[in-house]
Structure 1
Amino acid sequence: MIGIVVATLLLGASVVVAGVRMYLGPDDANRAVASDLLFFSVVGLVALLGVWMRGPYVFDVVLGSTVVGFLASVALALAVTRGRR
């Protein structure tokens, strides 16, 4: 149980740092990376909540969210680079 609490605190700190980076980021690329970090940190918090509550359907939501988050990361990368490779 202590591991869940420590992981929750670390992911919470990651959410705060990513939020600050999104707000203060000097360019769009830094904001895109910070938004990815923020999204996946929140997904990690939801997964930890599922472990703590022993919810059987939370992990299905986490899996779907990670697929959507990956596609959003690819779309943000294309938007930031304006389609250049």
Structure 2
Amino acid sequence: MSAADTVSLTTMVVLIMLTLAMLIAVIRVVIGPTLADRVLALDLLTVLAMGFVGAIAIRTGLTLYLDIAISLALLGFLATVAFARYMLSRLRDEESLP
């Protein structure tokens, strides 16, 4: 077995595992009992998508995919901050109600 075959097999296994993890995270987004659970699951989906793009970058040898992963990381960070601010404002509104 050559090195290229080993990399191909390994990346295929990684892509399958990441796909299963994404499916489980989507289930958590759908049935999450609280908003915090859903936000955390969406953040997990972002991290898993970055891993997926990274595995594809290794599999194809194109470094362009790494730029996509970096921009996805920035987008995920900004989305998490926005959700946190929304939850904080919602908490403040609930505290001000009589």
| Percent identical residues | 26
TM-score of the aligned structures, taking structure 2 as reference length: 0.76
Is 1:27 the counterpart of 2:50 in the alignment?
Answer: no
Partner of 1:76: 83
TM-score of the aligned structures, taking structure 1 as reference length: 0.86
Partner of 1:46: 53
Q: Shift of residue 22 of structure 1?
A: 0.5
Q: Shift of residue 83 of structure 1?
A: 7.0
Partner of 1:12: 19
Mapped to 1, the partners of 2:16 and 2:25 lie a distance apart of 14
Structure 1 segments (4+ residues) deviating >3 Å = none
Is the radius of gyration larger for structure 1 or structure 2? 2
Residue identity in the other structure for 1:76: F
Q: Deviations over 1:32-81 (max 9, x none)?
A: 11111112211211111111011121111111111121111111112123
- Contact kept in structure 1, 2:15 and 2:55, CA below 8 Å: yes
User: Aligned pairs, how many?
Assistant: 84
Q: Shift of residue 3 of structure 1?
A: 2.7
* Structure with larger RCO (C-alpha < 8 A, sep 6+): 1
For structure 2, the 5+ residue unaligned runs are 1-6, 92-98
